[in-house]
Structure 1
Amino acid sequence: MLHYIIRRLLIFIPFLALISIVSFTIIQLPPGDYVDTYVQNLQQQGGTVNAQERAAIEKQYGLDEPFPVQYGVWMGHVLRGDFGNSFLYDRPVADILAERVPRTMAIALAAILLTWLIAIPIGILSARRQYSVWDHAFTFLSFLGLAIPGFLLALVLMYVVYDKTGWLVTGINSPEYRSAPWSVGKAVDMLKNLWLPLVVLAVTSAAGVSRVLRASLLDELKKQYVTTARAKGLPEGKLILRYPVRVALNPLISTIGWMLPAVVGGEVVVSKVLNLPTTGPVLLDAILSQDMYLTGALVMMLSALTVAGTLLSDILLAVLDPRIRYE
Structure 2
Amino acid sequence: MIHYLAGRVVTMLVTLLAISVLVFVIIQLPPGDYLSTYIAEIQAQGEAVTSDKIDFLREQYGLDKPLWQQYLVWVTGLVQGDLGYSFEFNQPVADVVGERMPLTILLNFATVLFVYLVSFPIGIYSATHQYSWTDHGLSFLGFLGLATPNFLIALILLYFANVWFGTSIGGLMAPEYVDAPWSWGKIVSVLAHLWVPVVVIGTAGTAGMIRRLRANLLDELYKPYVVTARAKGLTEAQILRKYPLRMALNPFVADIGTLLPQIVSGSVIVSAVMSLPTTGPMLLTSLRSQDMYLAGSFLMFLAALTVAGMLVSDILLAVLDPRIRLGASSR
Q: Which residue of 2 aligns with 1:70?
A: 70
Distance 1:132 1:78, change over 3 A: same
Question: Does the 8 A contact of 1:86 with 1:294 survive in 2?
Answer: yes
SS in 2 for 1:287: helix
Q: Which residue of 2 aligns with 1:12?
A: 12
Q: Which residue of 1 aligns with 2:218?
A: 218
Distance 1:4 1:101, change over 3 A: farther
Question: Does the 8 A contact of 2:257 with 2:313 survive in 1?
Answer: yes
Shift of 1:185: 0.8
* Equivalent-residue separation in structure 1 for 2:139 and 2:45 (angstroms): 52
Q: Which residue of 1 aligns with 2:291?
A: 291
Amino acid at match of 2:5: I
The answer for unaligned runs of 5 or more in structure 1 is none
Q: Which residue of 1 aligns with 2:94?
A: 94
Question: Does the 8 A contact of 1:108 with 1:264 survive in 2?
Answer: yes
| TM-score for the superposition, normalised by structure 1 | 0.95
User: Over residues 26-77 of structure 1, what are the superposed CA-to-partner deviations in whole Å (9 max), with x where a residue is unaligned?
Assistant: 1111111001111223334443423332222112111111111111222232
Q: Which residue of 2 aligns with 1:43?
A: 43
Shift of 1:184: 0.9
SS in 2 for 1:299: helix
* Equivalent-residue separation in structure 2 for 1:115 and 1:89 (angstroms): 34
User: Over residues 189-222 of structure 1, what are the superposed CA-to-partner deviations in whole Å (9 max), with x where a residue is unaligned?
Assistant: 1111111111112222211110111111111111
Question: Does the 8 A contact of 2:201 with 2:266 survive in 1?
Answer: no
Shift of 1:165: 3.6
> Where in structure 2 are the equivalents of 1:1-327 lying within 5 Å?
1-327=1-327
* Equivalent-residue separation in structure 1 for 2:195 and 2:256 (angstroms): 22
SS in 2 for 1:266: helix
Amino acid at match of 2:273: V
Shift of 1:14: 2.6
Shift of 1:136: 0.9
SS in 1 for 2:86: coil
* Equivalent-residue separation in structure 1 for 2:155 and 2:116 (angstroms): 24
The answer for unaligned runs of 5 or more in structure 2 is none
Query: Which shows bigger deviation, 103-112 or 114-123?
Result: 103-112
Question: Does the 8 A contact of 1:264 with 1:279 survive in 2?
Answer: no
Shift of 1:102: 3.6
Question: Does the 8 A contact of 1:114 with 1:202 survive in 2?
Answer: yes
Question: Does the 8 A contact of 1:169 with 1:196 survive in 2?
Answer: no
User: Over residues 159-189 of structure 1, what are the superposed CA-to-partner deviations in whole Å (9 max), with x where a residue is unaligned?
Assistant: 1122234321422222211211111111111
Shift of 1:13: 2.2
Q: Structure 1 vs Structure 2: percent identity of aligned residues?
A: 51
Question: Does the 8 A contact of 1:265 with 1:279 survive in 2?
Answer: no
Question: Does the 8 A contact of 1:116 with 1:206 survive in 2?
Answer: yes
Distance 1:177 1:224, change over 3 A: same
| TM-score for the superposition, normalised by structure 2 | 0.94
* Equivalent-residue separation in structure 2 for 1:40 and 1:193 (angstroms): 39
Amino acid at match of 2:127: A
Shift of 1:6: 2.0
How many residue pairs get aligned? The number is 327
User: Over residues 50-107 of structure 1, what are the superposed CA-to-partner deviations in whole Å (9 max), with x where a residue is unaligned?
Assistant: 3332222112111111111111222232232111111111111122233333432332
